[in-house]
Structures are given as structure tokens and as C-alpha cells.
Amino acid sequence: ETGVTQTPRHLVMGMTNKKSLKCEQHLGHNAMYWYKQSAKKPLELMFVYNFKEQTENNSVPSRFSPECPNSSHLFLHLHTLQPEDSALYLCASSHPPPGRGGTEAFFGQGTRLTVV
Amino acid sequence: TQLLEQSPQFLSIQEGENLTVYCNSSSVFSSLQWYRQEPGEGPVLLVTVVTGGEVKKLKRLTFQFGDARKDSSLHITAAQPGDTGLYLCAGAGAGSYQLTFGKGTKLSVIP
């Protein structure tokens, strides 16, 4: 248990569906992240939020829409996804961000997403 | 773009053997972290190294940060089946929000 909780753990959705992934952290961290982990690729950073403000969007397609209502919660809204979007989606938090003299990133267990 | 190259990609060894995993880059990092990830789970932090030349030990695991802070190694002594997993290195650039991850080394320790 790392203090970062993701739901659901597994999700199967059709290409026309709309779904949301949820992440919650109880570590008092200010920065939260979404990562995508595909087979044979390094972990890819998708979005960064610091104090609820989005600070990075790494050229992620608009079919992925993040939302950060407060420093403890992060959502990833999904719509009209493609089969190649199937992957493990990981949420992480840190305080402050790693490259700013901060602490390490703590990851949730991930949501295994399958798009059919 | 900062890249981290990990080697080897795959490693299968017998219980009791020693091994070293490498993480290399042409970029300088303000800190470097090692994670272990088990199937279907998120990465779990093992250690953070910050100072060039720094060596940290965690039981049978020894981590070293290169003098120039561009590379790192993880050495495991007398590997156990419980060490099996994907080992990831990740570097943080100064002033950045982003961790750059390597592709990982998949370790299998056979009893």
C-alpha cells in the first residue's frame, strides 16, 4: 500500500464508450501525474498537475481528458478510445515534483485498460 | 529529450547468483531513482540517489550513482526468487516536473 489508490483496477470498454479513471492520494502531496505503460515501451508521462494546476501535457490526444478538482484527487476521462490505447494507466504523486528538489514519486497499482 | 538506456533488457539467473543492472544516459540528472514493479502492479520505489558517486545499500541490493550523475547501477547479491520483477530506473532533471523512465530490466530468479 503506497497511499495512492486507483479505481477501477481493470476496465474493458468499447471504442464508443465514455469512462473515467480515478486516483486518490492520502500522502499530502501537491503534484499528481498520469502515466501510460504499454508493452515494450518506457513509462510515458501524460499529464502533470501541481497544486491542482496542469503544468504539463505531453502531446496527449484529446480523447484523454484529465481533471484535478483538488490536490488529493485526479481523474482521467476517456472517450472514443482506440484499441492501441489499451495499456496500464498509472497514477503517481510527489511533493514537490521530483526535479525541483523534491521527493520521490509514489505510484498507485494502476488500471489495466482494454479497448475493444 | 532525456533518454535512459537500461541493460540488460532480460535476465534469468539461478537463486544465489549475483547480478548487475545498468542505467545509462548522455544527460545529467539531479536525482535518479530505482523502482521494482511486479505484474499488474504499480512501480514501488526502492531508492533515490542524489550525489555523484553516491552508494546506497538496501539489504542485498547496492545502488550506485555515477560521478557525473549520468548513469547508475543496481547490484544484487545472492539473488532470491522474491527479487523477480521489472526493475526501472528513472531520472529527474533539475527544475523539471518530469521523471524520465528507462524501459526496464525484467529479472527472473529461478529457485
Residues of A in contact with B43 (CB under 8 A): 43, 90, 107
DSSP strand pairing (B31-37 vs B44-49): antiparallel
Distances (CA, A) of B43 to A98, B35, B94, B111: 15, 6, 22, 24
Contact assignment for A42 to B104 by CB distance below 8 Å: yes
Residues of A in contact with B92 (CB under 8 A): 98-99
pLDDT band at A7; cut points 50, 70, 90: very high
The verdict on B96 touching A (C-beta cutoff 8 Å) is yes
The answer to whether the beta carbons of residues B73 and B21 sit under 8 Å apart is: yes
Q: What is the per-residue pLDDT across A73-102, written as a single tens digit (0 to 9) for each? A: 999 999 999 999 999 999 999 876 555 555
Query: How high is the pLDDT of residue A54?
Result: 76
Grid cell digits, residue B44: 514501488
B62 or A54, which is more confident: B62
Convert A35-48 to b/e letters by CB count within 10 Å (16 or more is b): bbbeeeebbebbbb
CB pair distance less than 8 Å for B97 and A108: no
Mean pLDDT of B58-66: 96
Question: What is d(CA A2, CA A27) in angstroms, rounded to the nearest whole number?
Answer: 9
